[in-house]
Structure formats: structure tokens, C-alpha cells
Amino acid sequence: MVVQGLRARLAARLGSFSLDVELEVGGNETLVLLGPNGSGKSTCLDLIAGLRSPERGRIVLHETVLFDTDTGVNLPPEDRRVGLVFQDYALFSHQSVRRNVEYGPRARQLPRAEREQVIASCLARLDLTAIADQPVLELSGGQRQRVALARALASEARLLLLDEPFASLDATTRATVRAELRRFLRDAALPALVVTHDPLDAFVVGDRLAVIEGGRLVQVGTGEELLAHPRTAFVADLVGLNVYEAVLAPGVGLKEARAGTVAFHVLADALSGAVHLAFAPSDVALASVPPVGSFQNAFAVRVQESASLPDRLRVTLDAGVPMVADITREAASGLQLAPGASLWAMVKATSIRVYP
């Protein structure tokens, strides 16, 4: 069988912590490994990149066996063609953007003409041509991330690993860089494994999410799947977000953001055009009658399913777009929650986060 993308089975022991996961990333898919600090996600990247070796396991990338305890294969990092983008990017900060990007081609001893071509195209792809001769020290966080990506691409990486790609960015640039990275990963036609502890980053960047807790995968699936059917309370909390792509009207004050057929009313003076909306399931209130009062966001919804979590109910709704609500058992007692039932869902405009 032809294996495209990455297949990794990793078992490692680090002191009292044990890691045991199986990951699959499709040929041009972005899988996000989501978990709290100390859950073993960054270790997975080190193991796949070959910076450490698992005790047991097998790592296959596009039919090339990188590591296999059964056959004794263990390729060194330089032969794996795995581009690792470190949390702080680990750039050669005393050198220019170009020198950073050409490190890989030089190390791989590409012929000069081919090297120049690779470097030029990688610089162009990440929009770095204009600043190619600037020292990396003078760049912003977002630019540094682009240099790290260009450097990995230029080394002919066939898999990208990104460790907390937004952790060293400030809040204002974070949203922009996130959008850029998503675009880049969609176009890159490379399998990518992104590690993050932030569910919002995971939803925006990932095609699929793998939730890791204490060195074990607890659930793998698309954002919608995880949101609607969280298998543990931990996943429910971690991926507890309704996220939509929407088109936002220009102007200030309360304004309309249209996600498919549904119009949300939100506050986001600085933004317009294509945006994302996000709010937690716990920010959704349910009622059996239309609300009276100042609710700007009240939707007629239909119940698809309700799932019992240890401390609450998670109700999956069809509001024209999929929507998830977390409500207490007390709140649920007065509601008809059978599949197909009609309800009203309310969200405060101030609870909706808007970002590019």
C-alpha cells in the first residue's frame, strides 16, 4: 500500500512520564497536536525529527522509513527531510535572512545554479525577497516565523513540524500571523504537524486535531467532530469553541458578520472583510420561547443531539450553521432537548471574539 504523508508510532519514556501515540498525517494535511503543557506534544516533534529516539516505534514518511525499532533503522536528522520550526524559530540571528535560508541548500551541497533557484523561490513564496539582506535580529516576530518556514522549505523538507508557532508572538500580530500560516500550509502541499496548547490556534490552522493528554492521544478528528462529540471532559473543555468563517461589514460599533446564511452581530471596529468568529459553548444560552429584551444574536435553532458530560450537557444545534451549547442540568430541565426539537439560542455580542 502506498503511504503518502506521515505515519508515526512512538513510545518513549522520560523519567516517570511515558509517551505512547500513533499519528497519521495525510499528504497535504495539517494535523494539530493539541494539549496542555507537559502532555508530550513537543517531544513527539523531537522524536519525528530525529533529535531524540523513541524506545519503540516506527516512523514512515512518504514510503521512506525514518525509524523502526524492529528493523533497526534510525536515520539521523540530516537525512530525514523533516523541517522543524522551533518555538523561538532558532534562527541564526547573527546572519541575514538570505544566509539563513541558504543554510540547508549549502549543507546539502546543491549545485550553485540550483541552489540560487531554490533560495529565490523560497524567499518569494514567503514574501521575504525585499528583506532578504536584512539581519534576522531586526525582524518582527511574524517575519521571523516566515524566515524559519522559508529555511525549512529550502532544505527540501517533505514534512513540516511546527512547535507552538504563535507562542513567541504578541497578541496583536498573533491573529495576522495565524491567518498567514493557515494560507501557507493550505498552499504548501506538504504534510504538517503543528503543536499548540491553544484551541483557537488549533481550530484555525488544523485540518484535523489530535488531542493529547499525559502522553496519550485521547481523541482525533476534525474541529466539528471534537466539538460535537468530545469523548472526555478534558476534550470538551479544550476544544470548547464555536468557530466560523464570516464576512464582516465595514464601519464601527455593532455590525453584521455573515457566516453562510446566518448573520451575527459583533463588535470589531478595526476589522472588515474575511474574519473568524469564535465563542465558547458556555456563552450560548437556550430558551424554549423567543427572547424578550436586548439580544442582538438570537437564533431559531433545531436540536441535533445532546450529550451528557460529567458536569453539564453539550447540545449540538443546527442554527443554519453548526453550533454547540453547554448548559447546566438545571437549565436543561425546562427544555425539550430531543433531536429535532425547536429552541432559541442567544449569544451576547461581547462574547464573540472576532479575528482575521
In whole angstroms, how far apart are CA 321 and each of 249, 324, 344? 19, 10, 14
Contact flag: residue 76 with another protein (CB under 8 A): yes
**Separation of first and last alpha carbons in the chain:** 40
For another protein, give the closer residue by CB, 147 or 205.
147
Q: Are 177 and 356 in contact (CB under 8 A)?
A: no
Contact flag: residue 152 with another protein (CB under 8 A): yes
Q: Is the dihedral of CA 233, 237, 243, 249 positive or negative?
A: positive
Determine the interface stretch with another protein among 53-61, 89-97, 124-132, 335-343 (rule: CB under 8 A): 89-97
Contact flag: residue 25 with another protein (CB under 8 A): no
CA distance 197 to 91: 23
For another protein, give the closer residue by CB, 104 or 165.
104
The residue from 30, 39, 155, 196 that contacts another protein (CB under 8 A) is 155
Strands 82-85 and 73-74: unpaired
Contact flag: residue 165 with another protein (CB under 8 A): no
For another protein, give the closer residue by CB, 95 or 296.
95
Contact flag: residue 188 with another protein (CB under 8 A): no
CA distance 201 to 274: 17
Contact flag: residue 230 with another protein (CB under 8 A): no
Q: Are 268 and 312 in contact (CB under 8 A)?
A: no
Determine the interface stretch with another protein among 28-36, 45-53, 174-182, 219-227 (rule: CB under 8 A): 45-53
Determine the interface stretch with another protein among 9-17, 79-87, 228-236, 334-342 (rule: CB under 8 A): 79-87
* Residue 104 three-state SS: helix
Nearest to 66 by CA among 25, 14, 6, 155: 6
Strands 192-196 and 159-163: parallel
Q: How many CA atoms lie within 13 A of 276 on its CB side?
A: 17
Contact flag: residue 6 with another protein (CB under 8 A): no
For another protein, give the closer residue by CB, 79 or 269.
79
> Considering only residues 96-125, where is the footprint of another protein by CB under 8 A?
103-104, 107-108
Determine the interface stretch with another protein among 88-96, 166-174, 179-187, 279-287 (rule: CB under 8 A): 88-96
Q: How far is the CB of 110 from another protein (least distance, A)?
A: 10
Determine the interface stretch with another protein among 48-56, 188-196, 201-209, 250-258 (rule: CB under 8 A): 48-56
Q: How far is the CB of 159 from another protein (least distance, A)?
A: 10
* Greatest Cα-to-Cα distance within the chain, rounded to the nearest angstrom: 74
- Count of residues of this chain found to bind another protein when the rule CB under 8 A is applied: 26
Q: How far is the CB of 207 from another protein (least distance, A)?
A: 23
For another protein, give the closer residue by CB, 19 or 147.
147
Q: What is the DSSP letter of 190?
A: S
Helices and strands of the chain, counted as H and E runs: 10, 21
Q: State the DSSP H helix or E strand holding residue 228, giving kind and residue range, or none if neither.
A: helix 223-228
Burial class (CB in 10 A: 0-12, 13-18, 19+), 267: middle
Determine the interface stretch with another protein among 3-11, 43-51, 55-63, 338-346 (rule: CB under 8 A): 43-51
Contact flag: residue 50 with another protein (CB under 8 A): yes
Query: Which spans of this chain sit near another protein (rule: CB under 8 A)?
Result: 49-51, 76-78, 80-84, 86, 88, 90-92, 94, 103-104, 107-108, 151-152, 155-157
